[in-house]
Each structure stands twice: as C-alpha cells, then as structure tokens.
A and B are shown apart, each in its own frame.
Chain A
Amino acid sequence: MLAHWQSTSVDSHPRLAHLEHTIEHLSHLLPAQAPIRVFVHHNTLHAFEDQTFYDAVKQGSATYGCHAYLPEDRYRQKLARGRILPQDLAAALLEDPGEEPDRLIGFLGTRYHLRLAMLQHPLRLGPDAELRWLIAEADALRRFRDEAPVDVKEQMIDQTRRWVMRDLRNGAAAGDERIRRAVAVLFDRFGGSKIERWSEATWEAFTLQLLWYTCHHGVHGVQRFAEPLPPLVCHRDFLLHATGTDTDRYVNDVLIRFCAAFLDQGIARWTLPSRERGFLASFFALNRDSRPVDRWLRGLPTEIKRLEGIGYGALEIIAESLYLLGVDEAEEEAYLSRMLLALRGWTGMLWQMETNAEWAVHPAPTGTLVEYLAARLILERLAIDYFARAAWGNIGPLSDLRSRLRKGMPRAARVSVEQRAFLVFQLAQTLGWMPADLYRMSKGEWSNLVEEIESFSASERRRIYHLAFERRYRNQALDAIAAHARRAMPTTATARFQVVCCIDEREESFRRHLEEIARDCETFSVAGFFGVAMYYRGAADAHFVPLCPVVVKPRHYVVEEVVYSFEQSHRRRTETRRALGKASHRLHTGSRSGLAGAATALLGTLASIPLVARVLFPRLTARILRLFGSFVEPPPITRLLMERTDPEPGSKNGGLGYSLDEMVTIAECVLQDIGLTARFSRLVFVTGHGSSSLNNPHESAHDCGACGGGRGGPNARAFAAMLSDLRVRERLERRGLAIPRETVFIGAYHNTCDDSIQFYDLDRLPSSHHEEFERAKAALDEARRRNAHERCRRFESAELSMSPEAALRHVEGRAEDLSQVRPEYGHATNAICFVGRRLRTKGLFLDRRTFLTSYDPTRDDQENAILTRILQAVIPVCAGINLEYYFSYVDPTGYGCGTKLPHNITSLLGVMDGAASDLRSGLPWQMVEIHEPVRILFVIETTPQAMRGIFERNPALAGLVRNDWVQLATIDPDSPAIQLYRNGGFEPYRPETTELPVVKSSVDWYRGWRDHLGFASIADVNKPCGAAEEIAE
C-alpha cells in the first residue's frame, strides 16, 4: 500500500535519508552531558562554537529560551558597588565594533552619549497604568529625576524660563499653534499672570510638564520598530495559547517514564521487557495490548497496530506524522528541533547513550534518537487530536489545525505612546534636552530618536554591561600581573623540595601558602593526569576507570596490587568486603520489597542510630566508620604494576603497564612541559587531586578535569613510579635530561574537599630522605591547613574568625556531611589561566581564580612545540570549565540544573527535579552561586608572533580565540609588557596603574572578607631566602 505521505514524493528513499540527515544535524543542539558519574565540563553552547560568542549566546537564547547575560539589575548592582566603573561602560561602548558610536542623532548628541546615559541610569518602564499613575500621582512631573545632574537640571530650568519669558509668554513665539496652545494650558494651570513671582519649584514643575508634553507630542504617530514575535511552530503552542492546555505535559509524562525505564542502568529491579530490541520496539511491545485509562491515550494501541500492519520503520513513521500534522519540508527542521528540545535532557542522554557510551552497563542501540522522535510524534498526534477535539468538537484533519488557529494568536505587546514618551522624557532630563529644542524636531527626527533608543534593546544593554564588567576584571588582572612581574626575581639556587600540582585553580592557593611557608620550595603545574593516560583499577576497585582527559582514549592499563607478603590478608579482606557488600546490598534491596522489608523494618529502629549520628555528628561518625573500615581495607602496602612484558598493552596480566620507552617518553614530555629539566631538588612531590563528598550526585564534577572527572592520585603515583625507575633515568640521561641520583619522586593525592594529602609508596623512601620528608610534610600540612582556612572564608556557615585548625576540621566535616549541599565550591570563580613560569606569578594573590600552567619560554624551541602542546590541552579544557560555569550561572535553571534541593537521581544517569521532570544537565546552583561570569582570560608568557604561529597551525584553538569564547593576552618573557588580543590582532595593553597592594601574607589580605578579593603582592615570598628557612611551628 502506498501511504498518502509517500504520494507527495515519487521515491521515498531520498526523503527518508534527508530526514535522517536532518535529525542527526539537529542532534548537535542537544546537551552533550555524559552520564553523571563521569562528569566532564564542556562548553554548554558547544553546538554554536563556530560562531562568535555574541552570536552564539543570541542563538542559544532563541533555541533554548535561556538568558545570554545576567539580568540588567545585577550589572547595575555591580556598577553601584564599583565592580564596573563608568569608564568601563564608556570603553565598552566605544570599542564595540560596527556600532558607530560617533553617529550623530540630530543635534541631541552622539549615539555613544545616548547609550551611555541609558546604561548609567536605569530607565523606568512599566505598563500604561503604572506610567499614568507616575505622571498623575507621583512627582514625575514636579521634580527632576534623582539621576539628573544638578547642572543639567538648572540649565534646563533656566533656559526654559528664558525661552518662555522671551518667546512664549506674550504669544510671540514661532508659529507653532500646538505649542502655544499647550503653553496656554500650562499658564492656566500655574497661574500665568503671576509668572514673575513663580518660585524655583514652580519653574521646575513647569519645565517638566512642558517637556512631558513635547515628548508625548513628538513620539505620537511614530511607527513601531520592534521585531515581530517569532512565529509559532508547534501545534502544542497554538493549542496552549488558544485553550491553556499544555499537551507537552501529557506527552512528556509518558515519555519521561519510558525513557527512564529504557535507559535505566540499575535502579529498577524489573527491567523494561524487550528493551534490547530498541526504543520503538519496546515502546510498541509495552503499549500494543494496553488498555489506557487516560482518554487521550486510548487510540495508542490501535495506532501501533496500524503502523505495525503497514510495516513502517521509525523514519517512515516520522515522515508520515509530519505529513499528517501538516508540516511541510520548509519548516520540518524547526518542527523537529522543537520535538527534540521539548525534553532536551532526556533526548540528549538518549543520544549520548547511543553514540558515546559503549562502556556503560546498558548502552542504547543505534537509531534510538530517531525512534524516540517517532514515538514522540505518535504521542504528539494523539494528544493534539484529543485536546483539540475536546475544545472544539469536530476539528477536521490535523494538518489544517494550525492555519485555522493562526488568526486567534496573540500579537506582540504594543508599545504605547505613553511608554515611548516616558523613555524620551527620562533621557531628556539626564542629557539636558531642552523642550525648546525638542519641539522643533520634525516627525522624521523623532522617528530617528525613538528608533535609536529602542534599538539599544535590553539584550544589547546587557551585552555592553557584560563587556564592561569583563573589562574591569581584565584590567585589574593585567595591571596586577604586569606590576607583579616587575618584582619577579629568578633564582638560581636549588629548591629544598619541589611540588608538581595540577593546573587546577583550586591548587593556586595551596601552592601560594606552601611557598609562603617554605620559601625555599618550588612549585610547578601540569594537567593533572601527568601525561599518564590510563585505565586504572585500585586494589579494592571493581572496574577499570579511565584516568585521562576525555579527548584521549587510553591504551594502557594499570592495576594496583597488594605486595606479596600481604597477599593472604588481602584475600581475606577482599572476601570480608564482598560478604559485607553482599549483605548490605541485600539489605538495600530487601528493605524495598514486601516481606523482607517488613522484617527489616521491624529492626529499623536501629537505623535511628546512624541517622542521628550521621546528621548531628558527621565528622565523628565518619571517623568511627573509617576506623571500622580500616579492618577490611586492602593492606597498606601496595604497588602499581607499571612495567609491561607483552609488546602490546592490554587489560590482562602481561599487557598491564607501560614499556620502558613509553615511560621515558611520558617523563621527558612532562618534565619539558613544566620546565623542570635541571636543578632537581632531593625531594619532588607529584600531587594529583580529586574530591570526595556525600549528598552530591555531581561529586565527580569536583574531581580532576584533566583526569576526565576522575581522581588524579593514581596518575601522580604512576608518574612518580616511572621517574623512580633507574632505567628510565638512565635513558632520560641519554636524551640529555639528567636527574640526580639523590632525587626522590613521591606521588601524592590532594583531596580538594577535605584538604587531606595522602602520600604513596612511602615504604620505598630511602632513609637518607626521611628527615627531609618529615620537614616537607610539615610544610605541606601547614599549607593544607591554611588552604582550608582560605577556602572557609567563602563558606557562609564557617565563622570568619576560625583558626586554620578549626577550618581544617570544618572542611573535613563538610566532606562527610549527608546534609551538606556545598561540600566545596569546585571551579566556581575561575577567571584567568596563566601559562608561564611560576616566578612571574609567585607571591601574587590570585584568589583561587587562576589556572596556573607551568611553561618555560626560555627552553622552548623555534616552533614553540612545547607551548603548542600545552595550549592544545589547556585552552579547550579551561575554556570548557569556564564556559560551563558561565552559562550555568547566567541561567541557572535553563543552562544549569537549578537548585540541588529537589534533585532526584534517575536511572543512575542524571538528576530530575522532584518526582518527574526533564533530565537536568549543567551545574547546580549550589556549585556556581559564588561564581562571577567572565570569559576566561589566558595570559601566556610568550610573544604575539609565537601565538600567531600557533594559531596558524591550530585552527581549532584559533577559532576559540577569534570567536571571543576566551580572552587572550601575552606577557613578554623578558619584560612586563602585555599585549592584548582584540578583534583579530594583538595590541599593546597600557596598564591603568602600576600600584599593587603589598601585604605580609595571604591571610592578611583575605582575613575578614567573604566576597571576591582584588590582587595583592605577598611580600617576602620573592625575596631570595637565606639558609634553611624554618617553617612555622
């Protein structure tokens, strides 16, 4: 049988191929968030990355209905508090390309002046009724706006007075009849006969009333400029406007439940029957013989049988549905995109599970997204048909429904004469536009003026505010970096010990404190997987997890093994853990079933003990639990199986680990990257990081981004193990990288949530180094205490008066607290990424807002191979983190996933709001609430020429920079000169100031402050230190 939709095209195959192509194209609009257990930060608007940032956010608003920038009043608050200065607004307006700031608007000044006035003082807008009230009842026509400058106000009153006295009073004015009549009315109102005795206040009121009249009269009859509303596409929108019934509510309800069941990775105990046969097949199987009670669904079984009878595939169902709904090919893409975005979290997850999750327990088969659309369109048709019929009885074919409803659709709200007049009226008061001048303007000039005002729309204003806001922070940052760079002093002495951290901005404060405590130490940073891209399995882990950036697919496998002497106890403990695990799993599932649950519940009173203890004494409870846990943990001495015997890597015995040459390459590469190729200390710590917290479905978002949302401890340990291997050192030496024999590498793991540090393989520490290790460890301990202390200033529930010890206890409690929704603030407030030698930033207070990447420009080659390698990783990763925070902050419920409080873990894949909702992607508000949305500023210690070369060879990097997704500046390796990248080229940056506050220590600078802090230079840190400096305590 030839179906009716096919009759429109002779051959259906190109049509279906086209549809498939369209859907695949549209799938890029879906959020690309992977299952929440491996949270990886990425640019929320990745789909629009080929456009400029400004176009992309506009597109994003149109596509997702989300905010592009903060609301206007938030920027105005910043203006009031000095986070934006008037000169920033001015600069942002003047530097805005293509906007012709110098354009004259009649004789009223330039576009720039008009816009600046609109930005500096909020214009009051409101519905007609409110305006009428303002005019008639409030003192809008009696007193000038508070914002009006006094001189402008006096000048206006004076001039008007002179004009009235000279020209108008005796009717001798220029011939305009209307103005004379208006003046006559006003004279009547104010008592024109006593005009000579009018008080100042009367003149003020008179001026304003004349002004109001002039404005009102002027804008009268000026045509509208507002863009028409975007046309409605979906039947659902038409129905919603016409009847108030939202069919999406019904359709989504069915689909949410079904998608969750289809994708479930292990919450439900009964899985969806025949889910292995695909989305549509299981949807049909489930509903084919159902007898729905809901009226709108009653046609579903029949429809399914009909479609199965014809033998349609998913694409054919989509094509037929579009035909039945009357969607022609021109609007097909728009329609399908609405269908996909109606539940964009779930659709995005279907797409992720289909294309990008072969590692998952239950990945989705190919074609899932297309099948979802088919199912959605079937439901859509049923719902529209039913609810339209319920509203209007017989409705005819669905394909005509939209054209019949189009007439009754709402129009864009009208801008009334009052509203426009009031805008001009307010602006005239701040800009000093005289009634005498205004009344002479022609209709054409009025029209220009109104268009000029209206074209500077709210979205444009917010964009300019945003640019000004970014400018303020950027200038402060660049000033501080330039000023500080002047003080930098290269050292030639060998440091007492060296620490290699992740580039993560959370380690900035840790390094700063460490350098303050132990002035003779040196710190470096490199992406926190330390070049070791691996699948890793710990001694107590069930599975291999990838520990490397998401873009890398690891080839190597590393396992942790308990040393042979503990083998027996290890086996015993594993068995015990397994038994305990089984028991608790049984308890977990049993308590949810009937009779087993009853038995559990009868003993459930015991649960009150952990409940009360956990909630009221989280830290103590955690300690007790850990004490018990230590009896079943793997024994303390373990090794990483690092060296491979098989030629090819694999996950089985001989394939585990790296070959010697591979280790040498990794070690060489990382050491070159960070510029640590000489002057090795006797102790080198390699510190990975991660985070552990409870009550946090987004736990992995706090882990190391360079480890793909994993914990970087094992990477640090593996890297240290590689460098501890003498054969690796020999080969390195042959390549010209000599590491002294007495240098010892120690792997460590920094938990950024509870600020603990764990050292690996200390059993191998030679006794010659024990004492030094103890001293270094004391410094590290003090540094983490102070780090906790600095972090605590951001937590409102932590007293500002806390001591570092109390702060450490506080953050330890946070990590173990079931009720804590802010275990840490993660990457919030990130704003800068510095790529260069630490000595340029050492001792600069960067407020945990700066990613620090070690790079030594003096050791790079002509081609800047090292810098290229670094930037290829650092720019996309940091930009991804920064932009995800940006978008989740500017629209916390649209781009972000809203508040954590009602979050409900679903299918082990993500979170919903409450009982049933779209799957929420993005970051929760509690993670971003202290963030400041600015695009990340890269400051790179190199020359503009070098950067241009790198851009030429790496179009992807260049795209991010050229399209303004990130900001970029270079700092000269030999001087504090800064070049800023703007509009496609580098221009020298002229510092606003060379002053930089100097304080004795970090704590002196941040103590007592909760809010963002400016930059400061920490005295002493950069002074070359004398003999062995003793650390505090």
Chain B
Amino acid sequence: MNVDTLYSVLGLGTVAFPALLLSVMGLTSLLGWPLGERTTARATQGAVIGGLLTAIAILAMMLASGTRYVPIELGNWEIAPTEHFHFHLKFVFDRLSVPFTILSFVLVGTIGAFANRYLHREPGYRRFFLLYDVFLLGMIVASLAGTIETLFLGWELVGLSSALLVAYFHERPAPVINGQRVWSVYRVADAAFLIAAVTLHHLTGEGNFAGLMDKGFWPEGVAELSSREALFVGLLLLVAAAGKSALIPFSGWLPRAMEGPTPSSAVFYGALSVHLGTFLLLRVSPLLDLSSLLSAAVVILGLASAVLAAMAARVQTDVKSALAFASLTQVGIITAEIGFGLRYIALLHIIGHACLRTLQLVRAPTLLHDYHSLENALGEHLPQQQAGFWERWVPDGVRLRYYRLALERGYLDAAINEYVVRPFVALFHWCDALERKWTDVLSGTPSRESDHVPPTMPIGEELT
C-alpha cells in the first residue's frame, strides 16, 4: 500500500465515520428500531474516536513527510453538463482543515459524552443525538471541504441541526420562536453564500479552492481574480460569515440560541458553529489579499462586533447570555485578525477560544457552586463593578446611554424587525390583499373561507 492510498483511506475514514454514524442513527429511527441510550452512546463514541484517530494519523503522516496538502477526490458529478453545472465533492487536508477537524472531533466527542449523561432519561434523547450526528457530519464536511460546494453542504447541515437544536424544547413557544429566528438569519447567510458560490463558478469555472488559489497552499495561496471580483465575492461571503458567526447586524440570534439543552449551547453556539463564519473567511483568505477594501470591511465588521459584544457582555445578568456575548467578543476579534492577515494567530485563537468557552459553558450550571468557592477563597463578596473608571470618570448621562445600548444589545434585533422584517411582511400582505381582491372579483363572492371562521377556544387538557 503506497502512501497515497493510505492517505485516501484515512481521509475517507475521517468523513466516513461521522457519515456512518448519522446513517445508522437516522435509518434506525426511520425504520422504527430506536436504539437505546447505551447503544447510541457507544456508537457515538466509536465514530468520534475513529474519526479522530484517522485525522491524527493523517496529521502525523503529513508532519512526517512534510506534505502540506492532501486532496481526497470523491467525484465530480455533472448535474447538467450542457450548462456546466457540476457538484464537485472533494476534501482537502491542509494546515487549516486538519486542526479544525481535530478540534471538532475533540469538542463534539467530549460533549457527546457529556450529553449522554446530561440527557439521560430525557424523552428527546434520540432526537438530540440525531441532530448531534448531523452537526458532527456538517462540521467535518465543512472543515475538510476542498470546494466551495462541499463547504456549502457542510454549512447547511450545521445550520439545520443548530436551528433545530435551538428549538429542541418545542413544547414551549420561546425556543420555537428563537429557533425560527436563528433559522431565518441562517437562510440569509446561506443565500449570500450560494450567490457567492455561483459567482465564483461563473468567474473561474469551478469552485475548487485549490484552483481558485493555486500557487501555494493555505494560507499562502493567491486567488486568480481581479480585485473588483474579489471584492464582490468577498463581500457576499462576508455576509454569509456574519450570519453564521453572529457579527453585526445579526448578533441578536446568538443569545437567543441558548434555548436548547446546555451541552448543545456549549459546543454549538459557544464553540463550533459560531466559528464557522470565521473559518469560511480563513478558507477564502487569499481573496482578502486581493482587495484592501474587503480587508478593511472585514476588520471594521469584526471590531464593531467585538466592541458591541464586549459592552453587552458586561450587562448580561444570566450566565448563558453573558457567555454568548463573551464568545461573540472573541469571534469579532478573530474576524478582525483575519482582516489584518494574521491567519495563524486567528486559527490559534479559534481553537483556544472554542476549548475555553466550551469548558465555561458546561460549567455554567455550576456557577453558584464556583462563586461560593471563589468567595470563600477571597474572604469577601466578589467585586462586581470595576468601580474605578466606569463609575468615577464617565458622566452619568453617558453611562446611562451606554448601559441602555448594551442592555438593548445595540437595538440590532429591533432594527432588523423594523427595517427588514416589517417591510417584507407588509409587501406580502399587500400581495395577499391583491390576490384576495382578484379572486373575489373572479368568483363574484368573498372567496376566502378562512376569513369567516369564528375563533374557537384552543382545545386543551382539562386542568382541574
């Protein structure tokens, strides 16, 4: 067996383990042979360890041989040959994808073990793990993606599972509303991504990152686009990244995502899925080199998000929202680092931050315990306010204004509701009214039966 075969076997294994896990979990559920908790836990454990070991093996081989780029081709399906539509499934192992894959396996695996006990006896145990498997596969596919369409595939899987996990407790209204919110933001990001992908295909004839950025491996690639093309594609991708990473103006969804069970909040919104946007920017970072305008936009967006999130984090009174904004602060800084061209630092920052935040989030329910120990160690109540600068030097009025801005989370959600959702809904209401008018005219009578159904009491269980 030569090295190349070994590479492709291992490389396939890295993706195949999560895929196999998902198909086993999905198929058994579909066929009505639900797996027990123990089997589920073992299967998850096996798949994660398998995937992790293959990824580490590849890393070891790459380090040993000094290879910096290992592509795994999985076929190039032409969907409509005459129109040159094709779907190119390809995975690459390079300095960006290998650390990110290993990080995903470690965090998702640890959280899998955590969730196995945390969700023990929970009616939605299997649903959780099914979504968890979708998420794992999505993360691995996105991390290893060698073409923009492969990345999109993983990106979608991550988005789908994230939104469904936010709405995990679907018997209460708030998680469902917030899940829908997350989903709609993701759709906007997806749309931007898709347009970017299509444009890229249009401009270069393919979505292959290697072709797009030949001459050198990540992060030293050079893109074969003009500066203006890069700016256009780059801005679209920036919108996509902003949606996924909750940068301004989409920041509102991140604290709302804390509706699901603690472990999913921890690994998904605190650690991995929130970094996926920055990962995308890292992946296409050669584009940024082509346009300083684009780089500047990335830096500004990153810093603005970081400042807003840092402020919001200071006024949050519940531990999960505080951690969500703390997370966003770092994601903003990471984005800025990417804009400045500090790719390795950004990568290191992502990995470190993801580990740290996951640990903090899984410890979130232990907060009272931890505060108690800290107070005992300090021998006093924990100092709350940095009494110095903020209390003493900032005038009351200014302080109030910043506090309000922070408490209202920069009014971002309200602004989206007001300036995007409202006009959008109004437009459709208008269309609806128009249609009603037409159908009434055509049928000669009021045509909408639902207009005349009297309200009925919702049927509920008798309480008393």
Contact = CB atoms under 8 A, between A and B. Distances in A.
B464 A58 contact: yes
Interface in B384-427: 384-386, 390, 396, 399-401, 403-404, 406-407, 411, 414-415, 417-418
A303 interface: no
A410 interface: yes
Interface in A456-476: 457-459
Given A542-B379, A899-B122, A267 B114 contact: no
Interface in A692-707: 694-697, 699
Given A268-B317, A269-B386, A902 B261 contact: yes
Nearest to A915: B258
A589 B400 CA distance: 22
Contacts of B321: 904, 915
Nearest to A458: B462
B353 interface: yes
With a 10 A CB-CB cut-off, give which of A543, A598, A603 has the most chain B CB atoms.
A598
B381 A600 contact: no
Interface residues of B, number: 108
Contact of B385 (A270, A600, A797, A817): A270
A270 B406 contact: yes
B418 A241 contact: no
A523 B352 CA distance: 55
Interface in A9-59: 36-37, 58
Interface stretch (A109-117, A578-586, A669-677, A995-1003): A578-586
Given A66-B463, A797-B120, A36 B377 contact: no
Interface string A588-602: 100111110110111
A611 B381 contact: no
Contact of B320 (A409, A458, A459, A904): A904
B8 interface: no
B258 A904 contact: yes
A293 B377 contact: no
Interface stretch (B63-71, B129-137, B221-229, B356-364): B356-364
Contacts, number: 307
B278 interface: no
B443 interface: no
Nearest to B457: A410
Interface in A786-842: 796-797, 817-822
B369 A694 contact: yes
B20 to A, nearest CB: 23
A37 B378 contact: no
Interface in A715-767: none
B77 to A, nearest CB: 38
Contacts of B376: 540-542, 577, 581
Nearest to B260: A902
Contacts of B366: 694-696, 818
A457 B120 CA distance: 37
A293 B414 contact: yes
B315 interface: yes
A863 B93 CA distance: 86
A285 B383 CA distance: 25
B115 interface: yes
A898 to B, nearest CB: 8
B329 interface: yes
B400 A905 contact: no
Contacts of B314: 268-270, 593
A574 B376 CA distance: 10
B13 interface: no
Contacts of B107: 608
Contacts of B110: 611-612, 615-616
B39 to A, nearest CB: 14
A602 B351 CA distance: 8
B220 interface: no
B289 to A, nearest CB: 23
A242 interface: yes
Given A273-B396, A608-B106, A905-B365, A261 B407 contact: yes
Given A241-B455, A543-B375, A697 B365 contact: yes
Contacts of A913: 169, 172, 174, 259
A285 B362 CA distance: 37
Nearest to A912: B318
Contacts of B364: 904-905
Given A61-B463, A266-B382, A819-B263, A615 B455 contact: no
Given A578-B377, A817-B117, A906-B318, A604 B262 contact: no
Nearest to B325: A592
B380 interface: yes
Contact of A597 (B330, B348, B407): B330
A588 B378 CA distance: 14
A943 interface: no
Interface string B106-120: 110011011111111
A65 interface: yes
Interface string B312-340: 01111111111101100110010000000
Interface residues of A, number: 110
Contacts of A412: 457
Contacts of B255: 915
B306 interface: yes
Interface in A431-476: 457-459
Interface string A471-503: 000000000000000000000000000000000
A456 to B, nearest CB: 13
B457 A411 contact: yes
B454 A408 contact: yes
Nearest to A462: B464
A591 B378 contact: no
A540 B113 CA distance: 34
A290 B404 contact: yes
Given A581-B374, A616-B113, A410 B455 contact: yes
B178 A914 contact: yes
Contact of A914 (B174, B363, B399, B401): B174
Contacts of A261: 315, 317, 407
Contacts of B174: 913-917
B261 A901 contact: yes
Given A594-B310, A612-B110, A36 B368 contact: yes
With a 10 A CB-CB cut-off, give which of A411, A592, A593, A913 has the most chain B CB atoms.
A592
Nearest to B418: A293
Interface string A562-579: 000000000000100110
A914 B174 CA distance: 9
A607 B121 CA distance: 29
Nearest to B261: A901
Contact of B464 (A36, A62, A269, A608): A62
A901 B369 contact: no
Contacts of A697: 365, 367-368
Contacts of B403: 270, 272-273, 286
Given A578-B379, A616-B110, 6 more contacts: A290-B404, A361-B381, A591-B326, A592-B329, A696-B369, A818-B363
The 5 closest A-B pairs by CB, nearest first: A581-B377, A604-B352, A604-B356, A914-B259, A592-B326
14 contacts: A260-B317, A261-B407, A266-B371, A271-B384, A408-B455, A598-B330, A598-B349, A699-B369, A820-B118, A904-B318, A904-B320, A914-B178, A914-B258, A917-B174
Interface of A: 36-37, 58, 61-62, 65-68, 71, 229, 241-242, 249, 257, 260-261, 264, 266-273, 285-287, 289-290, 292-295, 361, 408-413, 457-459, 540-543, 574, 577-578, 580-582, 584-585, 588, 591-595, 597-598, 600-608, 610-612, 614-616, 694-697, 699, 796-797, 817-822, 899-908, 912-917, 929
Interface of B: 106-107, 110-111, 113-122, 168-169, 172-175, 178, 255-263, 306-307, 310, 313-323, 325-326, 329-330, 333, 345, 348-349, 351-360, 362-369, 371-372, 374-386, 390, 396, 399-401, 403-404, 406-407, 411, 414-415, 417-418, 454-457, 459, 461-464
